[in-house]
Structure 1
């Protein structure tokens, strides 16, 4: 007698996670040598990228702006992904690891991936596939010389709830973007007169803080054109409250020119509460008091 195999019941698909509860990954590139969308000379020249003065400057901003802005978040339910180069000089690699450990504390809250030269999008895809297989993830772009307001993650998750209410079938319409257009420029260039200065700036779909909600990890925040993709796939643009600070200095990866539309910003109490890292410790934007 031939025994026929019985059909197996189809495996149940995991229930969709509500948008406001999906993982949030903050994506930072630190002196990564590979195709990454940067247009600076250093992005194409290993010697310039790993120039000691440049590395020291970027590590300082990463330690005094980027990391403190994440430590100050009112909601800490996010993971910090740092993509760097396998060939990063050992002293800088050690200092990078030490800075992350000191700021984040728990090693499970961040990941440093030192990759060989490759497209940055491929390195991020591999990481997301490994850590979040088959999951919808919110990816936030944050360069190593920029910072986020202390309520950024909290407000981002609030925006996720609003998106769910406005687009009930959002899971079928991914990727989707969230862009905060208003923030501050932190002028640190040697040519700037006097102490570092803050300016109010507005750039819709700026890469800084741009958030991409996606389930296909091949379509990630390092694989898109930040000014075109949100318009193509759909986005929520928020322009009422400043949510980021952009470092402007002599080692920027993309040249930033001051505009006459920029308005000087003084350090009031609300600003100090939402961007505390600018006014404590190193006092990048001026002393407290």
Structure 2
């Protein structure tokens, strides 16, 4: 079964931001601010890419959607960072209606619309575990009856880490969060044009069945000043310094080395 992911990398679009950036020009000014782009590229390299480059199931495609107006120096850097991961395809689109563009990208990516597929969404500053694709496929087998009788079914891995890099190092907490934009997949029935972006991720359960897996950490959600959500930027009350056990969890489950991550920041 085809597995298709979509990650938006600083793509300006109407109808996509919650924090009062209504026009494309306002979005460009925010998205392409040098400090922000540098932070996103740094997190993309250190947090996002390692897990995708070491998946236990390598049969997936991740489309990274950017704007044609992304500054050229950053567009080149993005391509360089992803060049070693064969599953990643970068797509540059003119700014437009968010729902229309992401639907077009995902449905065009389907090799055979007459066959069911799995989809997932991802943010460019978060991580998924190295067995994320394997677990997505397993969820279809484990819930065959439900999948067969539903046009779409959400697959929610609701345990993970929230983390923030501060001057004193990375602080994190192992938490349960339902229907985040990370660690969330969706089964789409054959012939359906639904996509995982058709509905807000936190409201997905209002429109389709959702199967939840709380058994093990499946994602890392980074918190920082550029989050497009007041809640995300303030969700820091549980954070504490990494324990040795958590640091090992990051290395094994996400291919993230906290020491190398700190060294990368220190070198910039």
Determine helix, strand or coil for the equivalent of 1:53. helix
Deviation at 1:231, TM superposition (A): 3.6
Residue-by-residue CA offset, 1:60-115 (whole Å, 9 max, x unaligned): 1111111111112111111011111111111111111111113x0x3xx2221111
Q: Distance in 2 between matches of 1:43 and 1:29?
A: 17
Deviation at 1:267, TM superposition (A): 3.4
Q: Distance in 2 between matches of 1:37 and 1:182?
A: 26
The alignment yields a C-alpha RMSD, in angstroms, of 2.4
TM-score, structure 2 as length reference:
0.86
Residue-by-residue CA offset, 1:35-68 (whole Å, 9 max, x unaligned): 3533235675221111111111101111111111
Greater fraction helix: 2
Q: Distance in 2 between matches of 1:277 and 1:285?
A: 12
Match of 1:227 in 2: 202
Q: 1:276 aligns with which of 243, 246, 255?
A: 255
Q: Taking structure 1 as reference, are residues 30 and 66 closer, same or farther at Cα in structure 2, changes over 3 Å only?
A: same
Q: Which structure is larger by alpha-carbon Rg, 1 or 2?
A: 1
Q: Taking structure 1 as reference, are residues 194 and 41 closer, same or farther at Cα in structure 2, changes over 3 Å only?
A: farther
- Corresponding residue pairs, total: 255
Match of 2:54 in 1: 72
Q: Distance in 2 between matches of 1:285 and 1:137?
A: 37
Match of 1:55 in 2: 37
Deviation at 1:121, TM superposition (A): 2.6
Q: Taking structure 1 as reference, are residues 220 and 35 closer, same or farther at Cα in structure 2, changes over 3 Å only?
A: farther
Deviation at 1:247, TM superposition (A): 0.9
Match of 2:174 in 1: 200
Q: Taking structure 1 as reference, are residues 229 and 72 closer, same or farther at Cα in structure 2, changes over 3 Å only?
A: same
Match of 2:160 in 1: 183
Q: Distance in 1 between matches of 2:158 and 2:138?
A: 17
Matches within 5 A, 1:39-54: 39-41=18-20, 44=23, 45=26, 46-54=28-36
Q: Which runs of 5+ in 1 are unaligned?
A: 1-21
Deviation at 1:198, TM superposition (A): 1.7
